[in-house]
Amino acid sequence: MARGWPHHAMLRRVSSYAVKTIILLFVISFLWLQLRVVNLKPDLFMPLKSQYNDPELTFFANYSAIVNSVNATTPANIKLLLDTIEELNALQDVNNVDKFGPLNDNDVVIVIQVHNRAQYLYALIESMKQAQNINQTLLVFSHDLFDPHINALIQRIDFTKVIQIFYPNSIQLHPNEFPGHDINDCPRNMKKEEALKRNCNNAKHPDLYGHYREAKFTQTKHHWWWKVNHLMDGLHITQNHIGPVLFLEEDHYVAPDFLYILRMIENLKITKCPQCNILCLGTYVKSYNYAAFSRKIEIVKWLSSKYNMGMVINRNLWEQIKKCAKAFCSFDDYNWDWSLQHVSATCLPSPLTAMVAIAPRVFHIGECGVHHRGKDCSSDRVVHKVMKVLSSSSSYLFPETLTVHQSFRKPFKAPKGNGGWGDVRDHALCCSQVKNFSFYC
């Protein structure tokens, strides 16, 4: 017994060392795996369903590699950044013209409003890449933020013509002065009486709910309005373009047949609805039934809350809207679509009438955005849902014919504004972005 005890003790020590070594190796392996997952950009990282032949994993495979390969630097100060953006806007370089040729009169111009959500934009670009006839379009990316990662995604596009434009009155370029937030601007919730005593910049001009402007909200309407004006009357390649102009945003996603359906609706408009002046490829439906609705087009009075996604207009309608610049720019609502609704109801010769694809070809994937309040915000979840919807409905896409029916709805009143746009400085800036603004505003 006396001789056996050291032997058993040694075995226990060896066993203890082995267990500790195993635990240490496990901890190291676990930490290594965690670091690997972080490097895969977890917001777009999906649990592995299989090692091979997973189209969803393939779809997102390049995103991390692209953004991680970019030297994420911007010009060192505001002056250099302003000079850079002025130079880019002046150059008006169009990529891939040598490959795809000039813009033809009836080609589709697709203008995409971009802020800072590169993951959504990546999904949109990948969806457009799969679309039929995308090589016969011009993509115009309009930015209110200079971001190297986003620029890298766009500069890699090789499937059609591309141009980038940059909103010159962005918060990024004016962080401490209007149209950004001036330190002497009145706080949003300050009472007017207190604001007048303090003599802050916009004390006399709260919105219709008694609140003062917030730059992060006013910028979206300013950017939208500048973008359309610059596209129609400023860009050399589009200033005389008479073909369709499709409006998308960075958090949209398109079906493979979105351009095909656009052309079919255009042809149908000639005979079925010559009075229609706006087309709409996206709707906010909660469930998708392509078997029943893929071929169906609805004629409706345009409503901003339902038909603001995937809108298509032409130059004739734009000339009418531009004449209503004062109505758009002075309406007390920080949303461009509600402001356009006000223009439709109060200023245009007749309210906007839309032809709408009941089964959407443009989808909203942007749960994570300016107005998102909840904690459950995953940019990949909705993308994968839309991918599955389109995959399961692929046999119903590209229909040979379309059918039209008209919806009869009660007349609607001109909308009351949501506020956020009471500051006369916003009215003036908005008007100044219109060519010959003194005539229209």
- Residues at the binding site for Mn(2+) are 251, 364
3-state DSSP assignment of residue 129? helix
Beta bridge partners of 164: 141
Residue with tokens 């909103």: 167
Which residues define the annotated binding site? Answer: 113-117, 144, 219-223, 251, 364
- Rounded to whole angstroms, how far apart are CA atoms 194 and 173? 30
Using an 8 Å Cβ cutoff, are 102 and 228 in contact? no
> According to DSSP H, which parts of 61-142 are helical?
63-68, 78-91, 97-100, 118-129
* Phi-psi sector, 417: left (phi>0), alpha (psi -120 to 50), beta: beta
3-state DSSP assignment of residue 107? coil
User: What's phi and psi for 142, nearest 5 deg?
Assistant: -110, 120
Closest CA to 241 of 311, 310, 315, 312: 315
Residue with tokens 């006399």: 204
The torsion defined by the Cα of 190, 192, 197 and 199, in degrees rounded to 10, comes to 80
Which residues define the annotated binding site for substrate? Answer: 113-117, 144, 219-223
- Rounded to whole angstroms, how far apart are CA atoms 382 and 388? 10
- Rounded to whole angstroms, how far apart are CA atoms 140 and 312? 14
**Inter-CA distances, 3 with 15, 16, 211, 339, 411, Å:** 19, 21, 89, 94, 102
Q: Is 59 exposed, middle or buried (0-12, 13-18, 19+ CB in 10 A)?
A: buried
Closest CA to 105 of 247, 269, 244: 244
